[in-house]
Amino acid sequence: MMERWGVVIVAAGRGKRMGTTESKQYLQLGGKPIVVHTLQNFQEMAFIDEIVLVVGADDIARCEAWCEQYRITKMKAIIQGGAERQHSVHAGLRLIESPWVMVHDGVRPFVSEQAVVRCCQQAAAHGAAVLAVPVKDTIKQVNQDGVITATPDRKSLWAIQTPQAFRHDLLLEAHEAAQQVGMLGTDDASVAEWRGATVVVAEGEYTNIKITTPEDLPWAELLLQQTAANERGKTQ
C-alpha cells in the first residue's frame, strides 16, 4: 500500500545554459511545452494527491491556462519561485500538506512511474531517497590549471536525478534551517544531508534526462517518440 504524496515541481529557472530567449521549460516538445509533459506525467500517477508548481512571476498566468487546458486537476497552487533553485523548492514545500513529498525538476519530463514508485518506496523505508544512476565514465577531479588531481573510485559515484523523495517535515525543517544560515546545495538531498539525515539512492534511469543544454533537445525528441511507441505497444 503506497503512502499519499505531494510533489513540488520547480520550473522557475532562466535556463542560461540552454541560451534560448524563451525559458527552456516552455520550449515546445511534440507540440506542448516541456513543463506540461512533466505535469501530465505526475498527474497520471494514482498515489499523488497534490502538485505545487513553482515558476517565474511573469509565467504564472500562462501556466494556469495550460493546467486548465491539459486538465492538471491535482494542481494545488502555482507560485512564484526564488533566485536559486533551493529558494524555489522551499517556497513550494511550504504549501504541501501531504506527509510525504517529492521534489522534481520541471525539465525532467521522461521519468517513468516505475522509477518514481521505487524512489517513494525507498523514502518510505528510510525517510529520504533520490533517484540515481551509476556513472559510466571515469570521473577526474581537475584543478584550475587543467591538471588532474584525483581519480575517485567509480564504484562509489552516482549521477543524481529527480524526483527526490522525503518525509515532508524532515525536508521542510532542513530547508528552513538552510535558509537561516544561507546554506546552498545543488539538490534537496544535500540540504537534508547537511541537516544530518540519511538519504538513500533508488535505481534511476539513464533516460530520465534533465533538459539543460541545446544538445539535449534532439535527445528529448527521440525519447518522446520512444515513450509514445511504448504507450502504443501497451494498448495493442
Ligand X SMILES: C[C@](O)(CO)[C@H](O)COP(=O)(O)O
The residues of the shown chain that bind ligand CTP, judged by CB under 6 A, are: 10-17, 25, 54, 81-85, 88, 105-107, 210, 212
Q: Which residues contact 146 (CB under 8 A, 6 or more apart)?
A: none
DSSP reduced 3-state for 181? helix
**What cell numbers appear for 52 in the block?**
505545487
- Shortest approach of ligand CTP to residue 62 CB, angstroms? 15
CA 111 to chain centre: 9
Closest distance to ligand CTP from the beta carbon of 2 (Å): 25
The partner in contact with residue 82, picked from ligand X, ligand CTP, none with C-beta cut-offs of 5 to 8 angstroms by kind, is ligand CTP
Q: Give CB contacts under 8 A, 24+ apart, made by 63-67.
A: 63/11, 63/35, 66/33, 66/35, 66/36, 66/39, 67/39
Among ligand CTP, ligand X, none, partner that 86 touches (CB below 5 to 8 angstroms by kind): none
Opening angle at CA 123, ends 117 and 186, nearest 5: 100
The listed partner (ligand X, ligand CTP, none) that binds 33, CB under 5 to 8 Å by sort, is none
CB 92 within 8 A of CB 8: yes
Considering the complex, state which of residue 107 and residue 224 has its C-beta at the smaller distance from ligand X. Answer: 107
Cβ nearer to ligand X, comparing 64 with 193: 193
| The entry of ligand X, ligand CTP, none that residue 187 binds, CB within 5 to 8 Å by partner kind | ligand X
Q: Which residues bind ligand X (CB under 6 A)?
A: 85, 105, 160-162, 186-187, 210, 212
Cβ proximity to ligand X, 6 vs 228, nearer residue: 6
